[in-house]
Structure 1
Amino acid sequence: MTRALSAFLWLFVFSALAGAAYAADDAPSESSINDLLGRASQAVRSENYRGILVYLREGQLDTLRVTHRYSDGLEQERLVSLTGQPREVIRRGGVVTSILPNNEVVLISRHKRESLLGSVAQFSADRMREHYSVSDMGQRRLADRIGRLVRIEPRDKYRYGYRMLIDEQTQLPLKLDLMRDNDVLEQLMFTQIEFPGSIPESEFEPGYDIEGFRVVKHQAVQVEDKPVPEDAWQPTDLPPGFELAEDGVRRVTESGYVRQMLFTDGVATVSAFIAPEGLRKPLEGATTMGAVNAFGHVVEGTQITVVGEVPAITVEQIARNLVRETKAAGN
């Protein structure tokens, strides 16, 4: 995955984490928190904005030009990498076009709106308070705008913390820090941003002449109507606060199926993939890439892989506590 696409996906994390923020000097009521939660989440999708986004991860700094608009029910976005290898990502609704000019390749993928992450935007303020403490750190200025800085701290070892700066006029997150104790694991920050009333269609056209480029079309992994069998792998002894949010079967090859589960504590999300051994290259044990931890092992001829932006202990506990539940004889 390119850095540009990683940043593209992070913009959706903004909408997820915005549910933890509030922007009042006094302790707000639950209704006012939920109201701001909805407006902050919507701002990422519905605001027109154009700016420069800095993405810091594992000591590497990437800079992106971001253009976003929402018009007539259609969300569009264009990201252009300003550092490293030239890259460009253009999203129009559920169609994502990635342009790699050095390789003369255009990658086109389609994503159904009813994806496994679709339900994660619905957060429970009560669940969040149980596992995170939230503090209002007052106003801060960034990119010539005034925002409200919110600190979200975990109450245990199973999740990371966050610092988020919310623009007070538009509720768009201007900065997001992913924290482990006092260390910043990843950071997204707008260094320049504006909110035009309208953005012309021309700003979502490719910036490169792609005539003659090789076009690779990637079909999105389909969620099958195939039901999850009752005598299948089930989660037990999940880390505190995590619940199964979605569960489905996906086809990844003509004859290969993977079961995917999505767990959330109301802020963080973790994905579990259960597949026949040999369908993909197996992961044995733990691995880390920045803030992302993964744990995999093979049990009874089945590859179990759990991945998420959570501490290593969380993905391992989920992976080791997915067990096969079999029906009793005669049932």
Structure 2
Amino acid sequence: MTIASFRLLLCLAGGIFAAEAGAAEQAAAEALARMHGAIRQLDYQGSFVYSRGAEVDALRIFHAGGAIERERLVGLNGAPSEVVRDGATVTCLQGGTTTSAFRGTDARLLPLLPTPRGVAAGNLYAVTAAGIDRVAGYRAHRIDVVPRDGYRYGYRLWLEDASGLPLRSAVVDANHRTLEEYMFVTLDIGAKPRDADLAASAATAGAPPAQEPATGTARWRVADPPPGFVLGRTHASADGVEHQLYSDGLANVSIYIEPHAGNERADQRLRRGMLGIYSHTSGGTRFTAIGDVPRATLERMVGSLKPAPGR
């Protein structure tokens, strides 16, 4: 075989492998879209464990699917707590007392689930099939959502074969360490909850407030955000406090800029599970970034904050 022939075979093989890889990634992306349909449309109820570092919580969820979803999440350990959702209205209760209420069109009570829109941009995340497993007695296939750089975290998802319902989800860092995870231990897919299971255990008071609209003109801008992160919303108040929300479609970062009287202090860094906080004070202003992203993302965004043009 000549060298030219050998190179031709390599090129053909590379094309075949690339086509197969592309088909596998497309199938995994379709499974992710199917997962979100299952979350919204199916009836189910079960118990799962949620871990974040050394903290472990046990919870029970009841979900009634359809055009107007209803669901209820109940804490099984620690102080009594629950979250109730009726359509877009979400109410949080602690010890039978309403602690907060809000409206959210994308609200859901199962945690740690990436959106199809968020992973659609192939230059930010790759979606791959990663084998077969078993969770809560169900056969599941695993889907990995892998970031293409170090500015965001990855996801591992275990989807039930027949329905696509997510049985387990984990958020992992660049070293494949699990930061947060949930896993069903009992689950009944197709079991419609009773009305009593979907209602709050105590009467709730007051209607949820309307979402505060984004107002004001940005006084600051992130001049050099990590790839894919774009400004989605700004709120600037009269007292000089500004809040900006950046997202790549999946990961989110909030930036807070506020006047700071007093001596400058050392940078503050804090991490709890996948949530990170980085704060820097300079020139009478405190800059704080909070998000479900690695430290490098927060530091890059705060480090490139500059006054907006014309300020």
What TM-score do you get using the length of structure 1 for normalisation? Answer: 0.73
1:296 — aligned with what? Answer: 279
Q: Decide which of 136, 146, 167 is 1:143's aligned counterpart.
A: 136
Distance 2:231 2:127 in 1: 23
Change in CA separation of 1:153 and 1:123 when aligned onto 2, cut-off 3 Å: closer
Match of residue 5 from structure 1: none
Q: 1:223 aligns with which of 203, 213, 217?
A: 213
Instruction: Give the share of equivalent positions with the same residue, in percent.
Output: 26
Pick the aligned partner of 1:233 from 180, 196, 220: 220
Displacement after TM superposition at 1:97 (Å):
2.4
Match of 2:86 in 1: 92
The structure having more radius of gyration, on CA atoms, is 2
- 5 Å-filtered alignment, 1:34-53, equals 34-53=29-48
Q: Is the contact made by 2:32 and 2:116 (CA closer than 8 Å) also made in structure 1? A: no
Instruction: For residue 198 of structure 1, report the CA deviation from its aligned partner.
Output: 3.5
The reply to whether residue 107 of structure 1 matches residue 93 of structure 2 is no
Q: TM-score, normalised by structure 2?
A: 0.77
Alignment of 1:234-313 (within 5 A): 234-239=221-226, 241-249=227-235, 258-264=242-248, 266-277=249-260, 285-299=268-282, 301-313=284-296
Is contact 1:248–1:261 with CA below 8 Å preserved after alignment? yes
CA-based RMSD:
3.3
Deviations 1:180-236 (A, max 9, x none): 2132111111111112263332221233xx47x9x5877365014x3535xx21122
**2: CA distance between counterparts of 1:228 and 1:40?**
38
Equivalent pair of 2:63/2:192 in contact (CA under 8 Å): no
- Does 174-183 or 291-300 show the bigger shift? 291-300
> Quick check: 2:50–2:180 contact (8 Å CA) kept in 1?
yes
Alignment size in residue pairs: 282
TM-superposed CA distance for 1:94, in Å, is 2.9
Alpha carbons of 1:26 and 1:285: their partners in 2 closer, same or farther (altered >3 Å)?
Answer: closer
Instruction: Decide whether the 8 Å contact of 1:95 with 1:108 is kept in 2.
Output: no
Q: Are the equivalent residues in 2 in contact too, given 1:273–1:305 (CA < 8 A)?
A: yes
Question: Structure 2: which 5+ residue stretches go unaligned?
Answer: 1-19, 108-114
Distance 1:90 1:287 in 2: 30
Post-superposition offset of 1:262:
2.0
Partners of 2:80 and 2:125 lie apart in 1 by 39
Looking at structure 2, the residues matched to 35 and 133 of structure 1 have their Cα atoms a distance apart, in angstroms, of 13
The equivalent residue for 2:71 is 77
Equivalent-residue separation in structure 2 for 1:50 and 1:292 (angstroms): 28
Which 5+ residue runs of structure 1 have no aligned equivalent? Answer: 1-24
Residues 134 and 157 from structure 1, CA distance in 2 versus in 1: closer, same or farther, beyond 3 angstroms?
same
Q: Is the 8 A contact 1:223 1:250 kept in 2?
A: no
Name 1:9's counterpart in structure 2: none
Taking structure 1 as reference, are residues 33 and 228 closer, same or farther at Cα in structure 2, changes over 3 Å only?
Answer: farther
Counterpart of 1:172?
A: 165
Q: Partners in 2 of 1:30 and 1:149 — Cα distance?
A: 13
Q: 1:46 to 1:300 in 2, by over 3 A?
A: farther
